[in-house]
Structure 1
């Protein structure tokens, strides 16, 4: 797919997905763009940025954890938006997810979110 029209069609399909399905699609794509160099790893991840109306120039960032499909019997977790939050116990990044149990997109560790 190299045309603007092809990318526009794909974008329309992605926009039509509910958030938990979009996250699942991106879980299958983004890790393929990880780059490893000696002593350095760069991973493409999905994140949320939340701003408060009192401080609109300050954003809180959270990486989107991939739902733990084993915990959810092969499913994607509840379709409830990205309301579950927590920190990765291994690499300490802040996470958000639609699921209570997920995997950190940076280090792959299992995480419990509340």
Structure 2
């Protein structure tokens, strides 16, 4: 599919295809798309990213947010890392952003730094 997706049917078809992917494959597809929505204007850089929101209703009404880090495909010999959901967590050492990923070795989507998650 090339060009603008304008019809609801086309968007529904694309959404259905994305829903069929396991999380680690969905993250890889979005890694290829979201960074293209980066804007640099007036000294401000804005990037579209994927995030997780974890909410423990017994503790707080406010969810903990973490950006989804892209797996380090070089570390995983071209692979996407393990298919285990977004359970690896940590912080980017460069920009201090909270991160989540399916992989222990990943890239921060905010600054591009390599990260080691636990």
Question: What's the TM-score, normalizing by structure 2?
Answer: 0.94
| Partner in structure 1 of residue 63 of structure 2 | 59
Q: Counterparts of 1:1-114 in structure 2 under 5 Å?
A: 1-55=5-59, 57-114=61-118
| Deviation for aligned residue 1:56 | 5.1
SS of the equivalent of 2:55 reads: strand
Q: How many residues align?
A: 114
Question: Structure 1 length as normaliser, TM-score?
Answer: 0.97
- Could you tell me how far 1:38 is from its partner in structure 2? 2.4
Q: Which runs of 4+ in 1 moved over 4 A?
A: none
Q: Deviations over 1:50-78 (max 9, x none)?
A: 00021452100000000000000000000
CA distance in 1, matches of 2:78, 2:97: 25
Structure showing the higher strand proportion among its residues: 1
